[in-house]
Structures are given as structure tokens and as C-alpha cells.
Amino acid sequence: MTNRRQFLKTAGLTAAAAGPAMLAAPYVKAQAPIRWRLQTYAGPALAEHVIKPAIDSFNKIAEGQMEIELYTADQLVPTGELFRAMQAGTIDAVQSDDDSMNSPVDIKVFGGYFPFASRYSLDVPTLFHQYGLKDIWEEAYNEVGVKWLSAGAWDPCNFATNKPLKSLEDLKGLRIFTFPTAGQFLTRFGVVPVTLPWEDVQVAMQTGEIDGIAWSGITEDYTVGWADVTKYFLTNNISGAWCGSFFANADRWNEVPDNLKELFKLAMDSSHYYRQYWYWGGEAQLRTEGTKLELTTIPEAEWKTVETEALKFWDEIAATSPRCAKVVEILKKYRDTMEKAGPPYRYS
């Protein structure tokens, strides 16, 4: 018969022998965590909404297994050098659009604000997940050794200026801070695109270095302080939603355990979801209740000529590469589907 004391001695030895297997989870937790440095395109005030809540949640749930340090616009490297820094491993991950971070891929022109590619924020995830853009982005970034992770929508692209805009004629000669491809398109209407570090924009408006901003909707204008240095907000936009993505250095992504990869995917989805309602509600509320910007509108028939010109621009971009042609084909198919579907998808 085994008495109680003998049982306890034996059980103790058995537990000691089995210790490493039984304590596997705490052992992993006790190791130095995986540390990432992630830089966003957004300045501090904007980052509080567009990414920080999701990263805070990720770090909390990861419980020490992985920690992401978040840096805001130009804090570690200039926005235009984000891709190269991530590719080289100087930083581990990025939240930005392909266009402003100067990705060395042919499809970079579709990041940020590709003219009239979207009417509403829901257009962006639909295009990626139901119309095939996801596969195209994965293919393009695999070729340059960077892991494209997920795309989502931000706000529309409207003008904020110190001059009231009531006709296309009013755009001529305006020095506007905007995205590379959006600026390239707007030159057709006399706009002079200006490139500046993000944090210098507000001062540039005050000194008269630039005449306006075509970088965001009205929610960002208020959030980041641009509504304090501009007087007018044009309700017409050249795109219904900014298209931005999360990216990671491919080697660093491959080092992450599968469970933490899944957690990061959920964090990205959380970020995308938050922005959907933050911007959607913010744009309407600040147009109707905001006190800092006077709304102006260019007549719909006149603005239609801008949209018509955008379709010509699409064809020019399609001619630059077979992959760009494929994206434009998808955009045209999507546009046709939405117009045929009618309200609420599209209103004539």
C-alpha cells in the first residue's frame, strides 16, 4: 500500500521531472518579448484615432510576448523614406499609403487618393476583399521583399483653403499640399502641388507658403489643427476615401508566431472598423455643427467635368503596366456595378 507521505514524495518528483512541459506557457512569457517599431503616416493628434487604440489593445492582449512601439509622422524617418527604412529593417512595420511613402511598386499610384476610385469608405475593403485587389497587392509587395498586410479606408479628400472655391476657375494657381498622384491629377485644373513634411503644413498655411490643403476630410482638419489656419472647406471631393495599408518587413513578420500574427490581423481590423465610424460620423457632424470652416460647393455639373477627366487619367495609368491595367479594369467593373445598383450605392 502506498501511504500518503510516499505518494507526496513521488508526486513531487514526477512534477519536477515534468516541469518544463507543464510550465511551457509561463516560460515563453518570461522570455524577452518580440519588439517592433511601427511608424505611422499620422501626426500625434491623428494617430490617437487612426492607429493607437488598436496598437494599445494588441500590446495588452499579447501579455509580454510581443510589444509594438508606435511612432508618429516623421518621428524616426521622413514619410517619403518609410518604405526603404522598413525594407532595410530600420523599422519593422508601417501604416501608410503606398503613394506618399514612395513604394517601389507600379501600383503605388492607387494608394492614398486615386481620383474618384471610391465614393464611400466601404468601397475600399469591398474592392480588396471581393474584387481582387488583395491578391494584386500581395503579389506586388512580395516582389520587393515586404509583407503587405491589410488595406482600409480613411476619410475623403477635400480642399481646405483661405480662398472660397466656387468654380473650377478658382483652383488655378493654388499651391496645395496634397498626395503625389492626387497632385499629378490636379495639375490639369491649374493646381500647383506642394510637398512638405506633415508637421510643417500648419505653419506653411500661416506664412502663405501654401494656399490650401487637399489631404483629408473635415474631421482631420479639425483634429490636427488645420481648421485653425484655413477658412473654407470645399464639399466636393476628388475621392470618397483614402486607401492606406499596414506593411511589415518580411523577415520580421516571418519571425512572429502564428498566434501573434492572428492577433495583429485582428488589431488591424479593429483599426479599420474604428476609422469607419469615426470618419463617417465626424464628416457629417463637423459639416453641420463645426464653427471654424465655411462650406463652399462647386456646382455639380461643373464638378462632373473633373470626374470625367479622372476617367481619362485612369486610362493613362493603365497604360503604364499590365498590373496597373488590371487594377483599372477592376475599378471600372466596380464603378459600373455600383452605378447599375443605384441608391444607396450610387446616386446620379
The pLDDT value given to residue 180: 95
Q: Report if pTM > 0.85.
A: yes
| Confidence band, pLDDT 50/70/90 cuts, at residue 32 | confident
Q: Please enumerate in sequence order all residues whose Cβ is within 8 A of that of 282, keeping only pairs 6 or more positions apart, or say none.
A: 155, 217, 218, 219, 222
> Length of the chain, please?
348
> What whole-number distance in Å separates Cα of residue 18 and Cα of residue 6?
18
Q: What cell numbers appear for 243 in the block?
A: 486607401
Q: Which of 3.40.190.10, 3.40.190.170, 3.40.50.300, 3.40.50.2300 would CATH assign to domain 35-154+242-283?
A: 3.40.190.170
Please say whether the beta carbons of 289 and 183 come within 8 A: no
Residue 40 backbone class (left: φ over 0; alpha: ψ -120 to 50; beta: rest): beta
The domain spans of the chain are 35-154+242-283
Q: What cell numbers appear for 239 in the block?
A: 475621392
Rounded alpha-carbon distances, angstroms, from residue 79 to 74, 98, 128: 6, 11, 24
What is the pLDDT averaged over residues 117-127? 98
Is the pLDDT confidence value at 53 over 90?
yes
The pLDDT value given to residue 68: 98
Determine what percent of the chain is predicted with pLDDT higher than 90: 89
The pLDDT value given to residue 2: 41
Q: Which residue has the higher pLDDT, 24 or 292?
A: 292
pLDDT, mean over the chain: 92
| pLDDT, tens only, 247-285 | 999 999 999 999 999 999 999 999 999 999 999 999 999
Is the pLDDT confidence value at 23 over 60?
no
The pLDDT value given to residue 31: 63
| pLDDT, tens only, 56-97 | 999 999 999 999 999 999 999 999 999 999 999 999 999 999
Q: What cell numbers appear for 82 in the block?
A: 518609410
What is the pLDDT averaged over residues 22-41? 68
| pLDDT, tens only, 206-249 | 999 999 999 999 999 999 999 999 999 999 999 999 999 999 99
Please say whether the beta carbons of 220 and 150 come within 8 A: no
Sheet strands (E) in 163-268: 175-178, 192-194, 212-216, 232-237, 243-249
H helix or E strand, kind and range, residue 51: none
The pLDDT value given to residue 179: 95
Please say whether the beta carbons of 27 and 65 come within 8 A: no
Q: Please enumerate in sequence order all residues whose Cβ is within 8 A of that of 148, keeping only pairs 6 or more positions apart, or say none.
A: 137, 138, 140, 141, 142, 245, 247
Q: What cell numbers appear for 61 in the block?
A: 492582449
The pLDDT value given to residue 5: 41
Is the pLDDT confidence value at 330 over 50?
yes
Cβ atoms within 10 Å, residue 131: 17
The pLDDT value given to residue 347: 86
> What whole-number distance in Å separates Cα of residue 151 and Cα of residue 124?
8
Paired sense of beta strands 146-153 and 243-249, if any:
antiparallel
| pLDDT, tens only, 88-102 | 999 999 999 999 999
Is the pLDDT confidence value at 22 over 70?
no
In Å, the largest CA–CA distance within the chain is 101
The pLDDT value given to residue 172: 98
Q: Which residue has the higher pLDDT, 157 or 197?
A: 157
